[in-house]
Structure formats: structure tokens, C-alpha cells
């Protein structure tokens, strides 16, 4: 893959991930902070799920740039993709071999946003804020040149 192709992939992936994160942060504002808790857990859940999906988009880009083939979710029409739906284990397996810090960041986002924020509707501002801070750190890893926020 040429450097130009890599930069194109990085630009596209970063833009898509940032779109998810911007939407997630907009939803989180609707949750209304009330001291240590959010008032509207449905918005916390929505924001957490969207942010987690944005992180996965960013990681797809990062892994693709490292030469990892990214299987298509739910696409069972091609034989090469049968049974290769992406799960947290897909990301953990590859990151464990390539970047332990990024693996730790993924695990933090998985627990704070995906499990606690999205599934359990955790309304604690500290938990959700910490998750979003780690999201920002992950996005910095794939930020293309000249794309400063």
C-alpha cells in the first residue's frame, strides 16, 4: 500500500470516527448533568453506544493500516467472511500482538461506555467522562496530519 493510499484510508477513517464521536457528544449534552449523575439515562446510553462504535471505526482504520484484513460484519455472502463477524475478541486478539496501550484503552472504553454506559445505562458522570477521555486518546492515534481538532 502506497503512502498516498494509507493517508486516504486514514483521512476517511478519521472523518467517519469523528462523525460518530461528535454525534455521541451531542447526545451526551441532552443527558443533562446533575452533580455526580446524568438525569436522562436514555441519552447516556445512546451517547455511549455511538462513541463505542466510533472507537471501533477508528480501530478498523488503525488495523487496516497495519495490514490486518477487516472482516465485514453481518456479510455472509462471501465465503472468505463466513463466521468472521467482528467482536471485541477480534480487536483484543490483534491489539494484544501489536499495541498493549491501545488494548488497554479499548478495554477501558469497552467497560465504561459499551457495558456500563450503553447496556447498563450507568448515569455516573465520572464513569462516562473517563470513557470519553479515552475515546479522545484513541482518536489521536489515527489523527491524520493537519486534522487537529
pLDDT tens for 55-110 read 999 999 999 999 999 887 644 445 454 555 578 999 999 999 999 999 999 999 99
pLDDT confidence of residue 143: 81
The tens digit of pLDDT for each residue in 7-34 reads 888 889 899 999 999 999 999 999 999 9
Domain assignment present for residue 94? The answer is yes
**C-alpha cell of 110?**
469497552
Domain assignment present for residue 28? The answer is yes
Residues 51 and 59: beta-carbon distance below 8 Å: no
User: How many domains, the chain?
Assistant: 1
Domain CATH code at residue 128 = 1.20.120.330
Q: Looking at per-residue confidence, does 40 or 9 come out higher?
A: 40
Domain assignment present for residue 147? The answer is no
For residues 67 and 62, what is the distance between their CA atoms, to the nearest angstrom?
A: 9
Domain assignment present for residue 149? The answer is no
Domain assignment present for residue 78? The answer is yes
Identify the band that residue 147 occupies on the pLDDT scale cut at 50, 70 and 90. Answer: low
For residues 48 and 58, what is the distance between their CA atoms, to the nearest angstrom?
A: 15
Domain assignment present for residue 73? The answer is yes
Q: Which residues contact 131 (CB under 8 A, 6 or more apart)?
A: 48, 51, 108, 109, 112, 113, 116, 117
Domain assignment present for residue 57? The answer is yes
Provide the residue range defining the domain that includes 10.
Answer: 3-142
Amino acid at each position: 500500500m502506497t503512502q498516498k493510499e494509507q493517508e486516504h484510508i486514514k483521512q476517511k477513517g478519521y472523518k467517519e470516527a469523528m462523525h460518530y464521536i461528535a454525534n455521541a457528544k451531542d447526545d451526551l449534552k441532552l443527558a443533562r448533568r446533575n452533580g455526580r449523575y446524568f438525569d436522562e439515562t436514555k441519552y447516556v446510553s445512546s451517547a455511549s453506544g455511538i462513541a463505542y462504535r466510533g472507537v471501533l471505526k477508528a480501530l478498523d482504520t488503525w488495523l487496516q493500516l497495519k495490514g490486518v484484513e477487516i472482516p465485514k460484519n453481518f456479510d455472509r455472502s462471501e465465503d472468505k467472511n463466513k463466521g468472521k463477524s467482528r467482536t471485541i475478541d477480534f480487536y483484543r486478539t490483534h491489539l494484544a500482538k501489536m499495541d498493549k496501550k491501545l488494548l488497554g484503552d479499548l478495554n477501558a472504553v469497552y467497560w465504561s461506555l459499551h457495558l456500563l454506559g450503553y447496556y447498563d445505562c450507568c448515569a455516573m458522570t465520572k464513569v462516562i467522562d473517563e470513557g470519553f477521555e479515552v475515546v479522545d486518546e484513541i482518536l489521536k492515534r489515527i489523527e491524520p496530519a493537519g486534522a487537529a481538532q
